[in-house]
Amino acid sequence: MNEDWKAVEWAGTVRFRVPMGWTVSSEDREGIEVLAFDPNDSGGGTFHVLVDERAPRPGEPAEAVLHEMALRFVRPDDARVSDRSVEEREDGARLALAAMATEEDGRAESHYFWLLGRVRDGRVRVAMFSYTVPALFDGQEPHVSNLAGLDAAIRAAELL
C-alpha cells in the first residue's frame, strides 16, 4: 500500500485504509449504519463497511460463534457465490472471503465480500466489507487495482 491511501476508523471497531481521493458517506440500511466509499471514477464501483458486535448465548463459546459466522458469511449453499475461503490470521482473527455475481433490475453486478472477526472479552466483533462493480467493468482497470488494494488493506485491517 502506498502513501495515496488514508487510514479510516469506523465505529470504534475497525481501522483500515482506503484510497485518498474516495468520497465517504454513511447510509442507514434497515437501522444499521453503513460506511460507503465512492472511488469517483467512471466505472461505478462502491465500497461498503459495516460492523457488528454480539455476545454469545449462555454456554455458547464465542470462538464457536465466530467460526459459524465466518462459515455462513461465505454462503456454502449459494450457487452464485465463488472463491470462498475462511482463513485464520496470525493475530487470531478470522478472515472470510467470497465473490458473487448477481443481476438485479436488469443490472449485472460483481460483488466481493470480506468478513474480519475476532473474539474480544468474550464477545464476537466483526467488520464486513463489500466492493461492488458493474459486471461489465469487472476485470478492467481501475477495478482490478482497486480490488487488489482493498484486499491488501482488509487483510491488514485492525479490529479495535
Distance CA 112, CA 132 (A): 6
pLDDT digits (tens, 9 = 90+) for 139-160: 899 889 999 999 999 999 999 9
pTM of the predicted protein model: 0.92
Map out the domains of the chain as residue ranges.
5-105+142-159
pLDDT digits (tens, 9 = 90+) for 14-61: 999 999 999 999 999 888 899 999 988 766 789 999 999 999 999 999
Does pLDDT of 12 surpass 60? yes
Residues 6+ apart with CB under 8 A from 70: 86, 94, 96, 115, 117
